[in-house]
Amino acid sequence: MFYPKTPFYGKALLLENEVLKANSTALSRLLPWLCQTPRITTYRINTLRISVADYKAQLQAKLRSQYGQKAPNVYGLDELPEMLCIAPLDVAAEDLPVDDHLKQVIVDTSCGAALLRGAHIFAPGVLAMESNTQLQELVNVYADLPGKCKRGTATRYVCDEKIFLGVGQVQMQRHQLYKNNEKEESSPTGIAVRMQRNISGVPTLGDLSDANGLLQNLPSIVCVRVLGPQPGERILDMCAAPGNKTTHMAELMGDVGTIVALDNSANRLRAMQSKLANYSCIETHQFDATKAWHAAGNGPSSGPPPFASDSFDRILLDAPCSGLGNRPQLCSNVKQAKVLQSYPHIQRNLMAQAVPLLRPGGILVYSTCTITEAECEQLVAWTLRKFPQLRLMDATPKLGAPGLPLHPELSAEQCALLQRFGPSAENRVPNLDTVGFFIAKFQKASELR
Ligand SMILES: C[S@@+](CC[C@H](N)C(=O)[O-])C[C@H]1O[C@@H](n2cnc3c(N)ncnc32)[C@H](O)[C@@H]1O
């Protein structure tokens, strides 16, 4: 069975060299790890609406109705009381027999990645379905790694590099999938294939997110805990959409205080509005956060952006980044080295706005969902050099690994304060099979020395 060993299909040498430049160690372990699926599913529970125990009971009931006696375990971690983990199914991926008599459905690699994390297949992700495939028929599902399968293909797609992902049951036929497909407004939506099992062993529950619970990666939950928002504070979320960390902050604050959520993408900001409907402490602004500081402003400001110096008790800079920590990456969206090189520039610009906006004594958290040293440890070293009023704090709760060594720019003690989520064995909590992520916590000096 074919499975990728690097996320950089077709561009491997070029991009691996670029990542290597900015990642002195561990590339050989890192690349295959990025292609593999995190096998644990995590939900963050909105404890303003439901108790974790009640949510757990609901999850267990769903799992039991789908898997009976074989339902996987649901459990929590002491460090993150608002989170529940769903263990993988007890079947090793290689035990899954491939029945070649079944018809085939081909999906694109992003749809394939979601499927491996427990999603069903939605209509837009289906590239090919063999003709005569009937409703409720079982099909083998493959991802098209080379990206050469033409949308709407009705014959069997012959390709050595398609990846077998699992078996599903058809919910939409070809004529429903491809009818009027040229017209945006009539593009089909909804579940096209309901997955029954996948090679990752992640339960195929689909996304159960609602106002009570959110499907969210573990490091993102840790990130807001590291920020530590308190009721009554004024907090800036510089790059907020789709608002997953924003709502977590609001919950930890008991919905008391103010969270100013900025994002420069009108579409992404619009899309998150329904998620914010149940919270009163969040205000949103479509705004370029690289212009959020009004240098001539007088006194901390509480109006719309730009803001005067010292306006916020805490700031989250969850920066736009290369996203290379996402797993599984069957085929990375990053196709050019110059794209990778572009991120530190915007990250520095955002950091340069965050520092003056933070009040003396305030807390700033910088995070990315990537693994390159340039966007993580090197960005921290630059920040400390450029802004001596900041000091690095211990990014607790610490579940991931320390930062990578960056001699002589960061001392071993400083690296130990950082938090980097990487291949499982390195994380502080064993068997933490999650996405790649980076967190640094700073405090601004109360008075300039
Ligand atoms: C990593 S995502 C944020 C995820 C979000 N914090 C969450 O947890 O749901 C980065 C966001 O930064 C936004 N962004 C990029 N450049 C920006 C800028 N100059 N000002 C404000 N937002 C920006 C993007 O639109 C994107 O929504």
The per-residue pLDDT for range 290-342, each reduced to its tens digit, is 999 999 877 777 889 999 999 999 999 999 999 999 999 998 888 788 888 89
Residues 130 and 191 placed together within one structural domain of the fold: yes
The span from the CA of 210 to the CA of 74, in Å, is 18
Name the pLDDT band for 275 (thresholds 50, 70, 90). Answer: very high
**pLDDT at position 125 over 50:** yes
Q: What is the pLDDT of residues 81-116, one digit of tens each?
A: 999 999 999 876 556 778 999 999 999 999 999 999
Q: Say which amino acid occupies 20.
A: L
Query: Is 85 annotated in the active site?
Result: no
Give the number of the atom of ligand 1 that is nearest the alpha carbon of residue 368: 1
Q: Is 448 exposed, middle or buried (0-12, 13-18, 19+ CB in 10 A)?
A: exposed
User: Could you tell me the distance, in angstroms and rounded to a whole number, from the CA of residue 248 to the centre of ligand 1?
Assistant: 16
113 φ, ψ to 5°? Answer: -65, -40
- Please identify which of the residues 111, 369, 376, 415 carries the catalytic annotation: 369
**From atom 25 of ligand 1, which residue's Cα is the shortest distance away?**
265
Assess whether the C-beta atom of 243 lies below 6 angstroms from ligand 1. yes
Q: Is the CB of 433 under 6 A from ligand 1?
A: no
Tell me whether residue 112 is in a domain: yes
**Rounded CA separation 302/97 (Å):** 61
**Residue pair 312/358 in contact by the 8 Å Cβ criterion:** yes
The answer on 224 and 112 residing in a single domain is no
Based on the domain organization, do 112 and 181 belong to the same domain?
yes
In the reported structure, the alpha carbon of residue 235 is separated from the centroid of ligand 1 by a whole-number distance in angstroms of 16
289 and 396 in a single domain? The answer is yes
User: Could you tell me if 111 and 163 are in contact, meaning their C-beta atoms sit under 8 angstroms apart?
Assistant: no
CA of 339 to the centre of ligand 1 (A): 16
Residue 389 Cα to ligand 1 midpoint, Å, equals 25
> What are the angstrom distances between the C-alpha of 92 and each of 96, 97, 174, 245?
7, 11, 32, 33
Q: Are residues 318 and 354 in the same domain?
A: yes
Same domain, 314 and 381: yes
- 90 labeled part of a ligand binding site: no
CA 187-189-191 angle, 5° bins: 145
Is 425 part of any domain?
yes
Q: Is 241 annotated as a binding residue?
A: yes
Domain with 175, as residue range(s), is 93-198
Would the annotation count 35 as a binding residue? Answer: no
Residue 93 is predicted with a pLDDT of 59
For ligand 1, whether the C-beta of 286 sits within 6 Å is no
Question: Are both 165 and 227 inside the same structural domain?
Answer: no
Mark whether 285 and 155 lie in a shared domain.
no
Judge if the beta carbon of residue 16 lies within 6 A of ligand 1.
Answer: no
Tell the burial category of 332 from Cβ atoms under 10 Å away from its Cβ (0-12, 13-18, 19+). Answer: buried
My answer on whether 163 and 237 are in the same domain is no
For residues 239, 244, 246, 251, the Cα torsion angle rounded to the nearest 10 degrees is -170
Distance CA 266, CA 107 (A): 29
Q: Per the domain annotation, does 364 fall within a domain? A: yes
Backbone angles phi, psi at 139, to 5 degrees: -135, 150
Give domain status of residue 59, yes or no: no
Mean pLDDT of 181-195: 78
- pLDDT surpasses 80 at 28: no
The answer to whether 245 is a known ligand-binding residue is yes
ipTM of the prediction greater than 0.95, yes or no: yes
Number of domains within the chain: 2
Nearest CA to ligand 1 atom 11: 239
**Mutate which of 239, 269, 272, 346 for ligand 1 pocket (most atoms within 8 A of beta carbon):** 239
Tell how far the Cα of 156 is from the centroid of ligand 1, in angstroms. Answer: 40
* 137-167 b/e (C-beta count within 10 Å ≥ 16 → b): bebbbbbbbeeebeeebeeebeeeebbbbbb
If asked whether residues 296 and 357 sit together in one domain, one would say: yes
**Same-domain pairing of 184 and 264:** no
Q: What is the pLDDT of residue 30?
A: 82
CATH number of the domain within which 193 lies? 2.30.130.10
DSSP-assigned beta bridge partners for residue 401? 420
pLDDT at 343 exceeding the cut of 80: yes
Token code pair at residue 305: 């952006």
Q: What is the pTM of this model?
A: 0.94
> Domain with 390 in it: what CATH number?
3.40.50.150
132 is in an annotated binding site: no
Asked whether the bond before 242 is cis by omega within 30 degrees of 0, the reply is: yes
Q: Is residue 203 part of a domain?
A: no
Give the pLDDT band (50/70/90) at residue 164. Answer: very high
pLDDT the model gives residue 25: 55
d(CA 362, CA 446) in angstroms, rounded, equals 8
Residue with tokens 């209509």: 123
